[in-house]
Amino acid sequence: MEIFDRLESEVRSYCRSWPAVFNEARGSYIYDESGRPYLDFFAGAGSLNYGHNNPELKAELLDYLIGDSVVHSLDAYSVAKRDFLQTFGDVVLGPRGLDYKVQFPGPAGNNAVEAALKLARKYTGRETVISFTNGFHGMTLGALAVTGNSMKRGGAGVPLSHAATMPFDNYMDGKTPDFLWLRSLLEDSGSGLDAPAAVIVETVQGEGGINVASAEWLRGLSALCKEYDILLIVDDIQMGCGRTGPFFSFEHAGIEPDIVTLSKSISGYGIPLALTLFKRELDVWDPGEHNGTFRGPNPAFVTGTAALNTFWRDDALQQQTLAKGELIEARLTALAEELADAGAHVRGRGMARGIAFTQEGAAKQVSRGAFERGLLLETSGPEDEVAKLLPPLTATEEELEQGLEIIAEAARDAVKIPQPA
């Protein structure tokens, strides 16, 4: 471990929760260099929906590499990109009646968000973007300006501007009608809110604490955007690619966002790839206006195409995800009832679930205890008050039961630790 301490920046973070050196990974398991297995309920923060080194995807990738096929090509046309676009159109967009164009904005989620924000501003000629309390959209300055977390915002070093925060669904504990504040500001020419270019929203806030927006709230937001001619951006970077069941996390609400961001599991293999999707009429970019070196990662196109072919040509994965999500919810609900004194309660949709605690430090302690017992489990929320479960969608029921049992043991131990004075 010495080299990490000596050479790697203090900014490193996940490794502090999981002091192991990982080497191999297969399916729902990751192994440290001594061969100790860890059940992975973190799944690359949602980048490994199909597990580690999925064999179907790996076979396609290996064939591609062995054949000396082109790996890097900026945004030149390549066979791998053509296959990906064709498959994405046939398997994802076509069946859902979505007439989106596809932009490859750079490899990470934040690149997709930056492109979405820039395009919305260019198209509308307006500057302000509405975001929501506890939203998370990435670490680059534009994305950070629409992110809630004060610690992350503090790292910017410059004012984060051209954004306005509104209450997310249930932020006011159900006491205030939805969108009361936003609608009042939009209606009042004296409110001080400049006409917004766009609204950016997650349907389930992953980093913000597994806060779920109801389908009704999402429909209300979409209708409000239409009424005031504001573009609706759904950031599906963490909740897309099947995490909540359907391919896009907004499908159950029956809304059609103007712009959608995808990354994390879109390559299916943990290889960086991001997409910004937008309605055809929004494609007002000039050639090269949003550029970048890593916008044609062909190995990611190959695994991304294989993932769509393997998992999205029928609805089997979606049905399994919904069923497994219910299993997780049932186990967590029973645990939360048992630990009601620690203020435990359950949140989530599909296979994005969380158990939140009002007892300070409990969720962190659950994550620590889980690691000691061989399970990777992240925390989320502004105070790290939620133990967050993002198992691979391909995890077996047995693996889920095993992981949930570890969480239950770790949680029972965690709540015994007295609260700090």
If the CB atoms of residues 263 and 394 are measured against ligand PLP, the closer one turns out to be: 263
Residue type, 279: K
Residue list 327-386, contact with ligand PLP (CB under 6 A)? none
Minimum CB separation from ligand PLP for residue 207, in Å?
5
Interacting span for ligand PLP (CB under 6 A) from 118-126, 133-141, 220-228, 407-415: 133-141
> Pattern 219-248, binding to ligand PLP, x per CB under 6 A?
----------------x-xx----------
Distance CA(69)–CA(71), nearest Å, equals 6
Task: Rule CB under 6 A: say whether 210 interacts with ligand PLP.
Answer: no
Task: Rule CB under 6 A: say whether 45 interacts with ligand PLP.
Answer: yes
Handedness of CA 132, 138, 143, 149 (dihedral sign): positive
Task: Rule CB under 6 A: say whether 137 interacts with ligand PLP.
Answer: yes
If the CB atoms of residues 207 and 399 are measured against ligand PLP, the closer one turns out to be: 207
If the CB atoms of residues 211 and 238 are measured against ligand PLP, the closer one turns out to be: 238
Distance CA(356)–CA(382), nearest Å, equals 12
Task: Rule CB under 6 A: say whether 108 interacts with ligand PLP.
Answer: yes
Size of the site for ligand PLP (CB under 6 A): 15
Output the CA torsion 278→200→195→181 (10° steps).
Answer: 150
Task: Rule CB under 6 A: say whether 305 interacts with ligand PLP.
Answer: no
Interacting span for ligand PLP (CB under 6 A) from 86-94, 106-114, 337-345, 359-367: 106-114
Minimum CB separation from ligand PLP for residue 77, in Å?
25
Task: Rule CB under 6 A: say whether 109 interacts with ligand PLP.
Answer: yes
Task: Rule CB under 6 A: say whether 265 interacts with ligand PLP.
Answer: no
Question: SS3 for 260?
Answer: strand
Among 88, 100, 104, 136, binds ligand PLP (CB under 6 A): 136
Tokens standing for 224?
Answer: 């409000």
Distance CA(348)–CA(116), nearest Å, equals 26
Helix (H) or strand (E) holding 216: helix 215-227
If the CB atoms of residues 109 and 245 are measured against ligand PLP, the closer one turns out to be: 109
Distance CA(335)–CA(346), nearest Å, equals 9
> Pattern 183-202, binding to ligand PLP, x per CB under 6 A?
-------------------x
If the CB atoms of residues 211 and 359 are measured against ligand PLP, the closer one turns out to be: 211
Tokens standing for 179?
Answer: 């969108």
Task: Rule CB under 6 A: say whether 148 interacts with ligand PLP.
Answer: no
Closest CA to 20 of 406, 389, 392, 375: 375
Helix (H) or strand (E) holding 336: helix 316-338
Q: Within a 10 A sphere around the Cβ of 155, how many other Cβ atoms?
A: 10
Distance CA(30)–CA(27), nearest Å, equals 8
If the CB atoms of residues 235 and 258 are measured against ligand PLP, the closer one turns out to be: 235
Minimum CB separation from ligand PLP for residue 116, in Å?
10
Q: Measured in Å, how far apart are the chain's first and last C-alpha atoms? A: 34
Task: Rule CB under 6 A: say whether 207 interacts with ligand PLP.
Answer: yes
- 271 Rama class: left (phi>0) / alpha (psi -120 to 50) / beta: beta
Distance CA(253)–CA(382), nearest Å, equals 27
The site for ligand PLP (CB under 6 A) is made up of 45, 108-110, 113, 136-138, 202, 206-207, 235, 237-238, 263
